[in-house]
Structures are given as structure tokens and as C-alpha cells.
Amino acid sequence: MLNKKVDVYLSLGSNMKNRVYYLLKAILEIDSLEYTQVKKISNFYETEPWGFKEQENFNNIAIKIETSLLPLKLLKYLLNIEKKLDRVRKIKWGPRTIDIDIIFYDNLEINIEELILPHPRFYRRNFVLKPLLDINENINLRKFLKVDCGKIEKITPKVGISGCLLGKNVKYNGKNNWNKVVELLKERINFIDICPEVLGGLSIPRIPSEIRDEKVINKIGEDVTKYFLKGGEKALNILKKENIKTVILKSKSPSCGYGKIYDGTFSKVLKDGNGISSNMFQKEDIDIVSL
């Protein structure tokens, strides 16, 4: 590990299944790495495939991170993220759920079997260069842009999100769960915010609730399941109306929790399971990013 943080630029791409979902998952996984923070995120682009043409178009982005991880350690972590997100390497330059490349690592130049820096082919690829120019004002990159390098079009994905993650004071305690990566994404994504608990008619602030025996019970023992069901249905209708296939939801909650939720004892103990709204979204094939 370095004794300081350095700037690193990464290129990310996806052309399988829900491309925006995989890019968002990758961004958040990278931000969760030790000694690492995402600092900038480019626009999202739809691009034609490069190298192997017989495949679907890609969505591509670039991100700037600050990290104290050494290059090979960072590479190892990024490969693990690719594996976690179902990356399978069968065809060179072929279809993939996620691809994460290190383009620049500080000013380092390296040429070893495991890693070449800067990335040896970045200057031949508009789908790398255009996103990089969104977050790096180095005009030297512009001279590499090709006029005949295939389609590359800026897009603005539409994504649902728990309102508290945007900084809205809709939590049970009247506060929020503002998130710095979400703040960076606000410039690049059309977020449609939802708070199922508020949509269901619960007040701000409100008595905290957890799921117990398939019912939502608040801390004073009241069954408030009907409010959570109503709010989930209203939130789902919003997502359907907006044709949204990806949501970022607050983890652990009885409405938006996904994979792990509090166990109903109000003791911060987690159990496997989903919140009321998350279950509804999942049944409608809406992909969930838990944050």
C-alpha cells in the first residue's frame, strides 16, 4: 500500500442483460474497496462493439478514483469485482456483463505480464476517450479521437432511487442517507425518487418498523403492514409508468432492504430477506442495487 492516495482512471463497459445495472454495481463495488474512493463519474455512452462486431452495443463510462492500493493489488480487486458480477471470458473482446480496465495510474508507466500502463490501446478507442474527456481536461487526449470509430452517443439512464439516498429528509427519524456516489451520479442519471413508506401514508418522522413473521411491526407493537404494502404498490406503479428497470435502494429497511434486513427485534441484528417494496420490484424483474 502507498503512503498517499493517487489518481487512477478506469474505463467500464457492459453489453449484457441490464447494462446500467452492472455499471452502477461496479461503481459502488469499486467505491467500497479499502483505501479507495470514487471521485468523478463520466456521462454514460452507448457505443458500437470494438474488435468483435457480432454482439450487442455497449454502455461505457469512465471514473476517476483516489486510491492507496498498489497497481497489482488494485487490478486483483477489479478482477474480483468482474467475477462477482458474472464476467465470463470466452471470446476475446466478446460480450460481457462488466469490463473494468485501468487506463492511467497516476503517472506510472509499467510493462509486465500482468499489467501494462497506461493501457496499451486506450488511444484507439473513442468509447474510452470520450468518457475520459468528461472527467479529465487533459487536452492531449483529444488528438486521439477518431472520426470513423463507430457510433458513440451520450445517454441519460433513468433509474429509481430511495429518496433518502438523494439527501431528502424522509427517513423514519426525519433525516436522510445522503450518499456521495449518488451525488456524483445525479449529474449523469435521471433519478426518479421514491419513498414507499411516505407514499403509503406514514408520517415524517415516524416510529421505526421492522419485519417480523411476515408482518411489518413498529417499535411499539403496531401492525403497519398495510402502509408498507400501499407504498410499495404506489412506488411500483411509478417505476412502471416511467419504464424503469433499475433501482438503487436503501439497504436493510423493511421497505427497501434487499438481501439482508433487520430481524424484527430492533437490536440491529440482520437476517436474510427483502423489504416489502423490494419483493414487489423483484417480481417485476426490476434490478435492485442495494446501498
- Looking at the chain, list the stretches that DSSP marks H as alpha helix, in order from N- to C-terminal side: 19-31, 71-84, 126-135, 180-185, 196-199, 225-241, 276-283
What pLDDT is recorded for position 86? Answer: 81
Residue 62 corresponds to which cell in the numbers above?
Answer: 469512465
Cα(258)–Cα(38) distance, integer angstroms: 23
Please identify which of the residues 19, 31, 87, 125 carries the catalytic annotation. Answer: 87
What pLDDT is recorded for position 182? Answer: 98
Three-class DSSP category at 160? strand
Please identify which of the residues 99, 125, 134, 287 carries the catalytic annotation. Answer: 99
Q: Contact, 97 vs 25, CB < 8 A?
A: no
Please identify which of the residues 7, 101, 193, 263 carries the catalytic annotation. Answer: 101
Task: Tell me whether residue 101 is one of the annotated catalytic residues.
Answer: yes
Cα(216)–Cα(211) distance, integer angstroms: 4
Cα(202)–Cα(61) distance, integer angstroms: 38
What pLDDT is recorded for position 241? Answer: 98
Task: Tell me whether residue 99 is one of the annotated catalytic residues.
Answer: yes
Q: Contact, 287 vs 246, CB < 8 A?
A: yes
Q: Residues with Cβ < 8 Å from 257, sequence gap 6 or more?
A: 249, 250, 251, 273, 274, 275, 278, 290
What pLDDT is recorded for position 90? Answer: 58
User: pLDDT of 216-230, one tens digit each?
Assistant: 999 999 999 999 999
What pLDDT is recorded for position 3? Answer: 85
What pLDDT is recorded for position 35? Answer: 96
Which amino acid does the sequence have at 269?
V
What pLDDT is recorded for position 122? Answer: 76
Please identify which of the residues 7, 31, 89, 96 carries the catalytic annotation. Answer: 96
What pLDDT is recorded for position 142? Answer: 73
Task: Tell me whether residue 272 is one of the annotated catalytic residues.
Answer: no
Q: What angle is formed at CA 106 by the lines to CA 19 and CA 59, rounded to 5 degrees? A: 10
What pLDDT is recorded for position 139? Answer: 64
Sheet of strand 190-194, all strands in order from the earlier edge strand to the far edge: 190-194, 158-162, 246-249, 287-290
Cα(283)–Cα(268) distance, integer angstroms: 27
**What is the pLDDT tens value at each position of the chain, 291 positions in all?**
788 899 999 999 999 889 999 999 999 999 999 999 999 999 999 998 766 666 688 899 999 999 999 999 999 999 999 999 986 655 555 588 999 999 999 999 999 989 999 888 877 778 888 999 999 877 677 777 765 666 789 999 999 999 999 999 999 999 999 999 999 999 999 999 999 999 999 999 999 999 999 999 999 999 999 999 999 999 999 999 999 999 999 999 999 999 999 999 999 999 999 999 999 999 999 999 999
Cα(72)–Cα(164) distance, integer angstroms: 37
What pLDDT is recorded for position 138? Answer: 72
Site of grid cell 470514487: 38
